[in-house]
Amino acid sequence: MSFLQPTEAPRLHLELLPTRARAVDVSTVHLTTTKYDGPSIHISTWASGLPMPCVGDESLESFKDNNCESCDYYTDEIEVYSGGEYEIKIDGELRPIASTFYTYSPCSCYENGIGDISFPCYAGYEPESVEDTPLSTELMRYTAIFLDKEYFSFHEMRATQQRLDYLEDEGGFHLSDTASAVNTFNDDSICWGSNDEAYSLLQAESIYTTSPANQDLLNFESHRDNMAELLMADDLTPSPHLLDLSHHTHRGKAVVVASARTSPQAYLLLASSGVKLKPGLAYINAQYYKNVAVDDDHVLDVWATDVLPTGIRLLFLHDRDDNKNFNCLFIGQVPSDFNLEPCKSLPAPSSELAELVSN
């Protein structure tokens, strides 16, 4: 056995991408958390989604205009008629108040402003839910982060706004700065709320754009303002390391990643085939092909790359168990004219598949 001639199919990571994904990038970033301090793998994609529904609360100023100014508690002091129901301590003895008295208002809005109020307010009111114009997700970038230790260990999903342009006369992609997006924390990690957490970029884009946005973390106007500033930016940065997905329109999209730290065999095999390389990482985009005859005896659903500069394609077998971080097997190299059209033969049993990829 050698690194370039393994006896078992090397395992690596396959990340499913949104249908509208335009480009993908992979990088290593040093990550420091309360539980981890070391390298992490960031897989990012840029995908324009459908308008994002949003439901918010009426603004505090609108609430004040509609409720506070006519409220009996909106004053510095209030007049109360006791009728003997209230008591006051005199010389250590409680005595009933027989007539009208004045006291401070229990509501602090008059003195301190609407921002000092907790809801429901003292009068029992709270801001109403109001529907807002859907938010654009035209400039969204989604990033899946994995810890690069014993295996790809999922850490979190992030989302931000970033403009991506393809300048044909300059031969590649250009990127703007990033800006915050609605429903994300200060570090751009996604707030899932009551939704299930996403574990792939495909899931993240789908859940994020179809779930109603709220203004708990970033208000709708700031999301729109951030997008407008990015659209007007003229200082975009060339990014030649991105993989172009724009010509992949009719099949499932994915990126396959091998880490030299955790899967050196897969890394060397991919690197020697002409894929994209960064320090410690080899990666390449792939498309989904169903019922492909990989040899005379086996028909598989595979992920295949475009024809690489070395004149070959790479084939991968996706393990659909989402709980596994190494969810992909490297089947091997095939010539550029390899037939990827669907075969009508039945797929091979799982035991035969294991033998195939081991050879």
Question: Could you tell me the pLDDT band of residue 354, with boundaries at 50, 70 and 90?
Answer: very low
Least confident piece of the model among 13-22, 106-115, 283-292, 350-359: 350-359
Q: pLDDT by residue (tens digit) across 139-148?
A: 999 999 999 8
Q: Which residues of 155-170 are buried (b: 16+ CB within 10 A; e: fewer)?
A: bbbbbbbbbbeeeeee
Mean pLDDT of 18-35: 94
Q: Give pLDDT, residue 359.
A: 47
% the chain with pLDDT above 90: 50
pLDDT at 348: 54
Higher per-residue pLDDT: 139 or 322: 139
- Cβ(154)–Cβ(108) below 8 Å: no
pLDDT in tens, 160-216: 999 999 987 777 999 999 999 999 999 999 999 888 899 999 999 999 999 888 888
pLDDT in tens, 51-89: 998 866 666 777 788 888 888 888 888 877 777 667 778
C-alpha to C-alpha distance for 305 and 343, rounded to whole angstroms:
19
- CA dihedral sign, ordered 42, 44, 50, 54: positive
Rg of the chain over Cα atoms, rounded to whole angstroms, equals 30
Question: Taking the model in full, what pTM does it have?
Answer: 0.77
Asked whether residue 6 carries a pLDDT value surpassing 70, the answer given is no
Domain boundaries, the chain: 11-53+137-358, 59-127
**Residue ranges with strand state E in 82-122:** 87-90, 93-96, 100-104
What integer pLDDT is reported at residue 320 of this predicted model? 65
Q: What is the reported pLDDT for 255?
A: 97
* Over residues 4-13, mean pLDDT: 76
Please report which confidence band the pLDDT of residue 321 belongs to, taking 50, 70 and 90 as the band edges: low
pLDDT digits (tens, 9 = 90+) for 275-285: 999 999 999 99
Q: Report the candidate in 160, 164, 192, 159 with the shortest Cα–Cα distance to residue 176.
A: 164
Q: Is 187 helix (H, G, I), strand (E, B) or coil?
A: coil
Lowest mean pLDDT among 194-203, 232-241, 251-260, 347-356: 347-356
Apex 127 CA angle, 125 and 131, nearest 5 = 145
